[in-house]
Structure 1
Amino acid sequence: MRRKFLTALIAVGLFAFPSSLSLYYHTHLSDRYYTRQNEPLELSTLFPVSAEPCPTVTAVSQTGDTVQRTVFRLFGIFPIKTAEIQPISEVRLVPCGQPFGVRMLMDGIMVIGFGEVAGKSGHCCPAVTAGLQEGDIIRQANDSPIQSTADFRELVAEGKELLLTVERDGEIMEIPLKPEYSLINQCFQTGLWVRDSTAGIGTLTYFEPETGYFGGLGHPICDPDTGEVIPLASGEADTVTISGAVAGSAGIAGQLQGYFSGDAPIGTLYCNSCYGVFGQLYQIPDVPSIPMALKQEITLGEAVILTTVSGDTPQAYTVEIVSIDYTEDTRNMVIEVTDERLLQKTGGIVQGMSGSPLLQNGHVIGAVTHVFVSNPAQGYAIFAETMYEYMHKPSGFS
């Protein structure tokens, strides 16, 4: 009887073990991988996972490359999931780490707050009454494009009802707005606080030597009041000099301090996205490039961060890749600063370091994006592959 029980227990265990592993890898492996031309996909997993091409299932990507549907199998036996595999040529980038300034004009104007208007019937806010909300993007008024706060003020000054074309959470809607005459300011007002531009400092991640296209930050530039991603109409990148750093500590985020120091812009901005800020340099420096790592080539352990905490020249510091997540869009890695020099200067990762490139085994692997406020030595990073892929998408560069 005991032998039968043990036999049954072992049988259940033999079934449950691969099932549990298959479920784990199903949720932790990506649905899409790039590989180098004529090289098989190799995954760094604790237990062996093979990639077997589906014999008849192929597709063509937007770039005209063949995409192969592939089945992942645990131990070469148990199916895990199906993924897309696309071979690509080697990508070479120039890692940067220099600070750069961003000047952006919005595509429309953003609602950042509200105030009251002292009208004939008392205090009111026409904008709130109309249903406008913080973070709304006003793109048109009476079918006329709104490109600046000055454009909007001129229309409001006429005192006529405006039919606003507004973007909210990706949806376009029309909202009528009737200005109120202010007895205090002797003019028509709506009670809106709006913004049409912004500027800030970040870190340049890389540039592509053949084209001059560059990526930076690894996350979007957001409005400081609403937290919404700023829609980019046009923008420029400028030279910045770091004048100092406020060290971070548990519960308090540090930051780099700097100033715009160039005589002329260094490039044009084309895109502000959740994957970073992208643009093109006006002049391409003649400096060596290194390969970009594909995400499956990144390993846990030691890496290097290039960042600038003083002046305009980046320095290399050691970090540790603590974890890797193939399923997240942008929070792909958790890193920890281990270099005592950087820890003494800044306490770890601080605001302004976003975009600082990460290198491992002679490859560009990603960029720092966020700091853990509870532990400034740690933070998130994005894959370089993710930034590069978005930079060349139709929604980014044409």
Structure 2
Amino acid sequence: MQWDHVRKVIGGILLVSLCLLGFYQPFKAYVQVPQHVTLLEGETFQLKKAASATAFVQSDQQKIGISEEENKLTITGDKVGSDEVILKLAGIPIKKLNVDVKKNLKMMPGGQSIGVKLNTLGVLVVGHHLVDSGEEKKSPGEEAGIKVGDIIMNINGNKIEKMEDVTPIVQKAGEEQKPLQMKIQRDKETITTTLMPLKDKTEHFFKLGLYIRDSAAGIGTMTFYEPKSKKYGALGHVISDMDTKKPIVVDDGQLVKSTVTSIEKGINGNPGEKLADFSTNREVIGNIKKNSPFGIFGHLKEDLKNGVFDQPMSIALSHQVKEGPAQILTVVDGDKVHPYDIEIVTTIPQKFPATKGMVIKVTDPNLLKKTGGIVQGMSGSPIIQDGKLIGAVTHVFVNDPTSGYGVHIEWMLHDAGIDMYESEQEKAS
């Protein structure tokens, strides 16, 4: 009985101690420290430090460094990698802090107006139409179960790369009265179907009853490129087909130089637009290998200067972006890049890739006078804050052309194939 009493007393003391510890200000401050911190090489993260507080690195990998002063604890990202910091109060471990150190990358900021030419993987079905044979009116393609947004990859064993590949196969099958074996890609699924073409009574051609397209073109803005590899990112958002509204599956494509000829000013309810020239004889400056939710990506053929910031610029991670003044780089006349003032209205410190990480507002009177704010073709314009590249303009608010969304730069770097965890030794190898 006496031992049970002693145990109860000790338990009570421990419980009271824990309760008091919960109200102890340094303890409360350390509990509120995030469990995960991401730093770029050479950057620091600071905590207020109590007199009885200590910290140590969990392993001997030497990825991070710790310095302690009287009332301040500083964690420094020394090398690319991950490590753990254990925080103690009065010798008692109270917090484990996971620290990731990423490569302090430097990118060349863009701002140049670019022409975009995409070649689809196969030919894209963008609509159905009726074929009038004189005896019946129907769409053979629709009856075969082919849908808008499908990609025709193969007909009768023949690989389809462009619209010109389709016509001779269809005409031959029609004349021989043999059905077509179609291989279709629908999202991530491969579908096969059979189709009998129908001869149009007026044009005397056999037809599928499908509207198809094999390429798309438009204008946008260069965001960045990596000086050594020439890997680039542009637009900041996916390119979707104008008819199907689905992302275009890219086989390849080209970037060409573009000159802004005029601006259709944006007003509430009607976003404006850059009008630009990028005719077929324009110089090709790079390829397009990827079309993702975060933009288009590939390799440039050579360096691309913007005339404003022509030296590599450090990037900022999403949690380092703050509300307040910033600038965008873009072209509104000819091919000259200018910086324009904006405001970061809100920013979300994203842990995982996601679009619309920032809300931005144009404040520059010259840009507002010229464009009314953000216009189509401005997507991809790099956003600069405190001398760092933080993201790109993506979308305009239809009912407020002065405002729109921005995407954080780290997600564009990821889709460009630029590894933020890659060490110098790995690069050399």
2:69 aligned residue: none
Alignment of 1:35-184 (within 5 A): 35-37=39-41, 39=43, 66-67=81-82, 86-158=100-172, 159=174, 160-184=178-202
1:339 aligned residue: 364
SS at the partner of 1:350? coil
Q: Which amino acid aligns with 2:283?
A: A
2:381 aligned residue: 356
SS at the partner of 2:359? strand
Cα offset, 1:227, TM superposition: 1.2
Q: Which amino acid aligns with 2:318?
A: K
- CA distance in 1 between counterparts of 2:242 and 2:46 reads 42
2:237 aligned residue: 219
SS at the partner of 1:244? strand
Cα offset, 1:349, TM superposition: 0.2
Contact 1:134–1:226, Cα closer than 8 Å, also in 2: yes
Query: What percent of counterpart residues are identical?
Result: 35
- CA distance in 1 between counterparts of 2:349 and 2:256 reads 33
- CA distance in 1 between counterparts of 2:416 and 2:376 reads 23
- CA distance in 1 between counterparts of 2:295 and 2:181 reads 33
The answer to whether the aligner puts 1:307 opposite 2:330 as a matched pair is: yes
Among 326, 331, 339, the alignment partner of 1:316 is 339
1:21 aligned residue: none
Provide the TM-score with structure 1 as the length reference: 0.80
- CA distance in 2 between counterparts of 1:84 and 1:111 reads 49
| Greater displacement, 301-310 / 271-280 | 271-280
1:277 aligned residue: 296
- CA distance in 2 between counterparts of 1:291 and 1:366 reads 12
Runs (5+) with no aligned partner, structure 2: 1-18, 24-31, 48-54, 62-79, 87-92, 420-429
SS at the partner of 1:266? strand
Contact 1:161–1:176, Cα closer than 8 Å, also in 2: yes
Distance 1:179 1:322, change over 3 A: same
Q: CA RMSD in A?
A: 3.1
| Greater displacement, 144-153 / 318-327 | 318-327
2:283 aligned residue: 264
Q: Which amino acid aligns with 1:292?
A: I
Distance 1:32 1:93, change over 3 A: farther
Residues 332-380 of structure 1: CA distance to partner in whole angstroms, max 9, x if unpaired? 1110001111111111000000000000000000000000001001101
Cα offset, 1:121, TM superposition: 3.2
Cα offset, 1:86, TM superposition: 3.5
Residues 185-244 of structure 1: CA distance to partner in whole angstroms, max 9, x if unpaired? 212111010000111110001111111111100011211111111111111111110011
Cα offset, 1:143, TM superposition: 3.0
Cα offset, 1:78, TM superposition: 10
- CA distance in 1 between counterparts of 2:36 and 2:168 reads 50
SS at the partner of 1:176? strand
- CA distance in 2 between counterparts of 1:232 and 1:393 reads 20
| Greater displacement, 325-334 / 146-155 | 325-334
Contact 1:42–1:296, Cα closer than 8 Å, also in 2: no
Cα offset, 1:157, TM superposition: 1.1
2:258 aligned residue: 240
Distance 1:84 1:212, change over 3 A: farther
1:62 aligned residue: none
Residues 55-78 of structure 1: CA distance to partner in whole angstroms, max 9, x if unpaired? 69x9xxxxxx7456899xxxxx99
SS at the partner of 1:242? strand
Distance 1:177 1:35, change over 3 A: farther
Q: Which amino acid aligns with 1:323?
A: T
Q: Which amino acid aligns with 2:367?
A: L
| Greater displacement, 351-360 / 228-237 | 228-237
Cα offset, 1:54, TM superposition: 11
Q: Which amino acid aligns with 1:353?
A: M
Contact 1:53–1:68, Cα closer than 8 Å, also in 2: no
Contact 1:108–1:196, Cα closer than 8 Å, also in 2: yes
Q: Which amino acid aligns with 1:290?
A: M
SS at the partner of 1:165? strand
Q: Which amino acid aligns with 2:293?
A: C
- CA distance in 1 between counterparts of 2:156 and 2:46 reads 57
- CA distance in 2 between counterparts of 1:116 and 1:392 reads 45
- CA distance in 2 between counterparts of 1:356 and 1:83 reads 36
- CA distance in 1 between counterparts of 2:83 and 2:148 reads 45
- CA distance in 2 between counterparts of 1:330 and 1:83 reads 27
The answer to whether the aligner puts 1:391 opposite 2:409 as a matched pair is: no
Q: Which amino acid aligns with 1:113?
A: G
Contact 2:125–2:213, Cα closer than 8 Å, also in 1: yes
Distance 1:366 1:67, change over 3 A: same
- CA distance in 2 between counterparts of 1:139 and 1:246 reads 38
- CA distance in 2 between counterparts of 1:366 and 1:33 reads 20
Alignment of 1:199-218 (within 5 A): 199-218=217-236
Cα offset, 1:258, TM superposition: 0.8
Bigger radius of gyration among the two = 2
Runs (5+) with no aligned partner, structure 1: 1-10, 16-24, 44-51, 59-64, 72-76
SS at the partner of 2:149? coil
| Greater displacement, 366-375 / 254-263 | 254-263
- CA distance in 1 between counterparts of 2:322 and 2:258 reads 33
2:390 aligned residue: 365
